[in-house]
């Protein structure tokens, strides 16, 4: 299939970029003359209506993961952060057959130096699906990256969508940007869900369907919960021992975390030494859990079209909704990052690009 484009696509755009690592107020610049990228084979150009700020964006702004990014050819300045996509296809590259110009889409871009906090972004067509009509662009921008990050951990722990009904799932940090969508997904699949939240997030988590909400300020979830099939770390790796303690023994149980030392070790000690140390740590922990016949995993965000289609279907059915704490215009991207870094958001922080 040949490429196509709208005749009105400009050559330049607004984009929130950094030219060095550092604090948000010190490094962000909203450029008005950034070049609009061109979609390559299998890619589309999306006119962004909204995106979101994830904690990984704040860490990358500070230099987190730069050595692995450099190894993958994804480093260099100026750098545009962001992964969540919510907009309209305005151009298609060669061999794109699943999308066409004019389609309203949402999804998550793979790591790139030209991220989604911009008026236009290039995305692999396989990483996008049709935006449900019932979701606004802002709502659509709040869902995909957080969901796909958590879904990778759920899969690593052993959860399957077609076997989730009746399973007991513990999610650490249910009121955060990743937690709010993960609670809903697990409930929509029929699981029993327990989670933790601060006083301000308890009613939110209950409203999203959580069966048990532990107030982490006054309660210790390890004293309250037993015999869970899965435990997923979404916020604080320091609680790993406690999360493992609430798991049942035996096949079909598992733990996974999206917060782990792989990239910090590589950043600190280099790819060889840091990578070897991370691998040794992971293997050792997996072996200890294997003795209890349980799964153990560290996960990173990754594209998963089947999972994205599941998210779109559940959102269209009204079983998953976006929870937006704050919305900032693109010009206030530094303030959006600062808000996320304070760690107090209940749900997602969205950036309005329209």
- Per-residue pLDDT in tens (0 to 9) along the chain, 354 residues: 455 655 578 899 999 999 999 999 999 999 999 999 999 999 999 999 999 999 999 999 998 888 777 777 777 899 999 999 999 999 999 999 999 999 999 999 998 889 999 999 999 999 999 999 999 999 999 999 999 999 999 999 999 999 999 999 999 999 999 999 999 999 999 999 999 999 999 999 999 999 999 999 999 999 999 999 999 999 888 999 999 999 999 899 999 999 887 878 887 888 788 889 889 999 999 999 999 999 999 998 989 999 999 999 999 999 999 999 999 999 999 999 999 999 888 999 999 998
Instruction: Identify the pLDDT of residue 7.
Output: 56
Q: How far apart, in Å, are the Cα atoms of 287 and each of 149, 244, 290?
A: 24, 14, 5
CA distances from 225 to 169, 222, 242, 261 (A): 11, 6, 10, 26
Structure token pair of residue 1: 């299939």
Backbone dihedral angles phi then psi of residue 316, each to the nearest 5 degrees: -65, -30
At 259 the pLDDT is: 87
What is the Cα–Cα distance from 349 to 326, expressed in whole angstroms?
Answer: 5
Domains of the chain: 4-143+322-352 (3.90.180.10), 145-298 (3.40.50.720)
Contact predicate 195/183, CB 8 Å: yes
**pLDDT computed for residue 1 by the predictor:** 46
Sign of the dihedral through C-alpha 149, 16, 102, 39: negative
Rounded Cα distance, 284 and 339, in Å: 37
Torsion of Cα atoms, 280 then 281 then 282 then 283, to 10°: 50
H or E stretch including 130?
Answer: strand 128-130
Give, in degrees to the nearest 5, the angle at Cα 254 between 301 and 206.
Answer: 75
248 by DSSP, 3-state: which?
coil
Sheet with 79-80: list strands edge to edge: 28-35, 12-18, 79-80
Predicted structure pTM score: 0.91
Closest to 75 (Cα-Cα) out of 83, 66, 84: 66
Instruction: Give the CA-trace dihedral at 53, 55, 60, 64, to 10 degrees.
Output: 180
């Amino acid at each position: 299939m040949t490429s196509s484009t709208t005749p009105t696509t400009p050559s330049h755009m607004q984009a929130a970029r950094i030219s060095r690592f550092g604090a948000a107020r010190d490094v962000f610049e909203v450029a008005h003359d950034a070049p609009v990228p061109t979609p390559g084979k299998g890619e589309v150009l999306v006119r962004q209506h909204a995106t979101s700020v994830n904690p990984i964006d704040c860490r990358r702004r500070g230099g987190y993961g730069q050595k692995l990014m450099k190894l993958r050819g994804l480093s260099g300045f100026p750098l545009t952060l962001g992964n969540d996509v919510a907009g309209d296809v305005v151009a298609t590259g060669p061999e794109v057959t699943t999308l066409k110009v004019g389609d309203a889409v949402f999804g998550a871009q793979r790591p790139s130096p030209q991220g989604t906090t911009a008026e236009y972004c290039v995305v692999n067509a396989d990483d996008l699906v049709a935006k449900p009509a019932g979701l606004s662009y802002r709502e659509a921008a709040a869902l995909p990256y957080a969901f796909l990050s958590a879904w990778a951990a759920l899969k690593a722990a052993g959860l399957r969508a077609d076997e989730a009904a009746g399973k007991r799932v513990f999610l650490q940090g249910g009121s955060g940007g990743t937690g709010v969508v993960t609670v809903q997904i697990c409930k929509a699949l029929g699981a029993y869900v327990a989670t933790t939240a601060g006083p301000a997030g308890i009613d939110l988590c209950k409203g999203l369907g959580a069966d048990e909400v532990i107030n982490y300020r006054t309660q210790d979830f390890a004293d309250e919960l037993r015999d869970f099939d899965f435990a997923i770390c979404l916020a604080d790796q320091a609680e790993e021992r406690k999360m493992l303690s609430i798991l049942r023994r035996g096949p079909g149980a598992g733990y996974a975390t999206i917060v782990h030392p792989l990239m910090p070790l590589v950043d600190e000690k280099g790819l060889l030494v840091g990578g070897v140390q991370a691998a040794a740590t992971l293997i050792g922990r997996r072996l200890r859990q294997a003795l209890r016949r349980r799964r153990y995993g560290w996960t990173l965000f990754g594209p998963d079209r089947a999972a994205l289609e599941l998210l779109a279907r559940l959102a269209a059915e009204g079983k998953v909704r976006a929870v937006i704490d704050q919305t900032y215009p693109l010009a206030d991207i530094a303030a959006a990052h600062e808000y996320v870094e304070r760690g107090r958001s209940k749900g997602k922080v969205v950036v309005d690009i329209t």
